[in-house]
Every structure is written in structure tokens, then in C-alpha cells.
Amino acid sequence: MLYSVYELNRMAMTPWRAAANATRKMMRSPMNPMGETMAGRTMAAAAELFESVTRRYAKPEWMIEHTEINGQPVGISEEVIWTKPWCSLLHFQRDKDALIAARGTETADRKVLFVAPMSGHYATLLRGTVEAFLPDSEVYITDWQDARMVPVTDGRFDLDDFTSYIREMMTLLGPDLHVVAVCQPGPPTLAAIALMAEDDDANRPASMTFMGSPIDTRLSPTVPNKLAEEKPFEWFSGNLIHTVPAPNPGAFRRVYPGFLQLAGFMNMNLERHVDAHWNFYTQLVEGDGDSADKHRTFYDEYLAVMDLSEEFYLQTITDVFQEHKLARGEQMHGDRKVDPSAIKDVALLTVEGEKDDISGIGQTQAAHTLCSNLPETLRQDYIQPDVGHYGVFNGRRFREQIAPRMKTFMDEAGGAALKAR
């Protein structure tokens, strides 16, 4: 019922948004003498603010058209190299001729697979992460599907399926691969690699990096961790799971709606978001176009959310946040127990943010305890000062301090792991 009410409200606002758009365009028309007056700018700013806070934000585009290598632009094209109903694997293909011209030679770069979080936002949240690696890496990324768009005939999708998908992708890309799991996918990615190690799978990756991941949420629990433990399972299943209404492609599928996840994110820092939108309004009135553009860029990404399947969301709540199965050595994948201690030759790097309020200090480091048979030469841990959760994988400090450290680790420890096999 809640999802239907949400959709009805969104449709009811459609004519109002159309009127706001018309007002904004009219007030900003160069033919309108009122446009540059204080009254005209105020009306245009109010109209744009209204439209922006009532819109459903579509899945963002990657907007990565080129990278720069040795001062020369190299074109980028998106290529889907593997796909299933719930995910596609994207390769950011660099123009080969431009790449050779920029370097003066043809060289093979490291292969990096970014496992994007399936926790409400789209994979494009890692746009900056991808851009930092494109000059010297072959970059691949998981592009998870919005459950609202997956027909019920395509079946269910749970945490075990997530783990299986990751293993299939790693198998496709081969053993010289460096896997980076950002936030939520840490536990299932570690599980997939543990299963490959136990099977002595020749395609297990050279290195694995976990960034702000909830490997063991008993350590330094944050507000979201405490909520997951304080509320019984029945509260989550009874209050947060709803049915996708028609005419969405995934009509009648039971999901955790993205708009509920977004509401939770917003409420954690509500005052900051209110201030940001008020500042956006004043910037529009004052004609500060650069600052207004930065606001649009951030919120076009932040407010675009996706639904999660019922079974995936609830299994994540129980296995990761309530029962801590991986950390306790009780995680199962189908009828197999997951044993991270089987990992002996996949280099491990953990990265955390000093001010992370989503995954507290120690939660990601727990991977080192679980991978007890890894030699010290194949493991590193790093805590980035002065960054929160988002800053672990994006922003200036990521580009200047974290990404270079990751690349060095991949080349040195990852290379050593491959040689040791």
C-alpha cells in the first residue's frame, strides 16, 4: 500500500512539476525583461527548487567520455561483457590507438573489478573511483539492476545469488584480476573468494581490497548497525518490505523500496541536507552558477535510488548485521560453509575512513582476522585520516592518497601472490 501511495503522490505532482518547469524557463528566457530582476530570479529559483525536490531521479549516466594519459585525451566507451537479469558487467574500454599514441608503446595494464554496493544507490556513485583508475588500469564494474525493473518471471535474488554472480565475473576475468569491494559487497565478495580458494580455483584473483565494508559489524557499531540489531527481524519484514505496483516492469515483486532507504540516509544528516537546499536556492537567486551546478551534480546522483529484492535485503539484515555469520564462521553458501581461512595466496588490503559513520573502524579490518592463513607479506591495512564513508572511495583524498596506495598494493602484493602459486 505504501508503494502505491508513493506512486500516486508522484503522479499527482506531475502537473505541478510541469508548471514549475514552465515558470523557470519563462523567468530565465533572455526575451523576458523580468528575468534579471530580483523578483524574476526568485521565482525561477523557487520553481527549480520545487521541481528538484519532487522529481523521481532516473538512473544516472556514467558520463565518462575520456581519460587523460601523459597529457593526451584517450576516448572511453562502455561495453557490457556479461549480463544476467540482476546485473551487468561493464568494461570501460579505452581507445587502443589513442592509448598507444599517448604512451608510445603497447603495454598491458592491471585489471581491476570494482564490486559496487547494492544498497540503494546505483553503481555510478563510484564514478570518481573509476575515473581515478582509468589512466593506468583496465576497469570493470558491476552494474546492479533496480528490483523495480526486474519482472517477477526472472526469479528471486538473494545474498547467495550475489555471491555466485561475483564468482562468475571473477572467473570470466581470470586470475590476474584485482577485486575491489566497496562497502556492502565486502562480505559476499570475501565469501566468493573463499569458496574459490577452497576449490583451488585457478581463476581466483591476485588481490582483494575491501573499502568501508561491514565484515564484522560488532566492532565499533554505528547508528545503522545498532538499528539493525535493536529491531527484530519481524520489524524489518513487516515495515520495510512492500509490493511494486503496476505498471512498473517488476510489478508485484516484493522489495525494499529505494525511497525508504533514501529517507533513512537523509534523516541521518537532515539538517545538512536542508541547509544544502536552502543554499542552492540562494545561489540561484544570486546567480552563483558554479555552486548551483555542484549542488545539482551531487544530488542528481544522491537522490537516484533503486529498490532491493525482499530476499536480498532481509538475508543481508540477518546474516551480516544481526547474526554476523561470516565473522562467527557460520556463513553458508547454499549447503557449503564459507571458510575465509582457506585463502592463502590472494593479497588482502583493507581501507577505512577515520570518520566513517556507516562502517566503523575495525569492521573492515576484521577481514585480516578471518583470512588467518594469509602471510603478512600479502596483507595491508590503511586508515585514511579526516574522511567519512563517502571519502573512502571518492573525492580529493581518495584520488591523492588512497588510490595510489591501492595501485601500489595491487602491483606489488598482488603480483607476489600470483608468483607464489
Q: Which CATH number does the domain housing residue 217 bear?
A: 3.40.50.1820
Q: What residue ranges of the chain have pLDDT lower than 70?
A: none
Identify the CA nearest to 207 among candidates 348, 32, 91. Answer: 348
- Which residues sit opposite 350 in a β-bridge? 210, 381
Instruction: Please tell me the predicted confidence (pLDDT) of residue 268.
Output: 74
Instruction: Please tell me the predicted confidence (pLDDT) of residue 421.
Output: 85
242 inside domain: no
Of 256, 280, 302, the position where a domain reaches its end is: 302
Domain identity same for 94 and 185: yes
Instruction: Please tell me the predicted confidence (pLDDT) of residue 35.
Output: 74
Question: In 148-213, where do the E strands start and end?
Answer: 177-182, 207-211
Distances (CA, A) of 417 to 192, 206, 231, 375: 18, 6, 42, 10
43 inside domain: yes
Q: Could you tell me the three cell numbers for 295? A: 549542488
Instruction: Please tell me the predicted confidence (pLDDT) of residue 359.
Output: 93
Express each pLDDT in 248-294 by its tens digit: 999 999 999 999 988 887 887 788 888 888 988 888 888 877 888 88
259 inside domain: no
Domain identity same for 213 and 359: yes
Domain identity same for 95 and 149: yes
The pairs formed by 166-172 with CB atoms below 8 angstroms and a separation of 24 or more are: 166/115, 166/142, 166/192, 167/192, 167/195, 167/196, 168/82, 169/82, 169/89, 169/113, 169/140, 169/142, 170/113, 170/196, 170/203, 170/204, 170/205, 171/201, 171/203, 172/81, 172/82, 172/89
Report DSSP state, residue 313.
Answer: H
Domain identity same for 275 and 321: no
202 inside domain: yes
Domain identity same for 43 and 190: no
247 inside domain: no
Domain identity same for 97 and 225: yes
Domain identity same for 224 and 196: yes
User: Cβ(387)–Cβ(397) under 8 Å?
Assistant: yes
Q: What is the pTM of this model?
A: 0.92
Domain identity same for 183 and 312: yes
Which range marks the domain in which residue 41 is found?
Answer: 2-56+269-302
Domain identity same for 192 and 164: yes
Instruction: Please tell me the predicted confidence (pLDDT) of residue 110.
Output: 95
* Contacts for 5 with CB less than 8 Å, ≥ 6 apart: none
Instruction: Please tell me the predicted confidence (pLDDT) of residue 341.
Output: 97
* Contacts for 118 with CB less than 8 Å, ≥ 6 apart: 144, 162, 184, 185, 308, 312
Of 256, 281, 302, the position where a domain reaches its end is: 302
* Contacts for 171 with CB less than 8 Å, ≥ 6 apart: 201, 203
Domain identity same for 213 and 343: yes
249 inside domain: no
282 inside domain: yes
Instruction: Please tell me the predicted confidence (pLDDT) of residue 11.
Output: 83
Task: Provide the number of structural domains found in the chain.
Answer: 2
248 inside domain: no
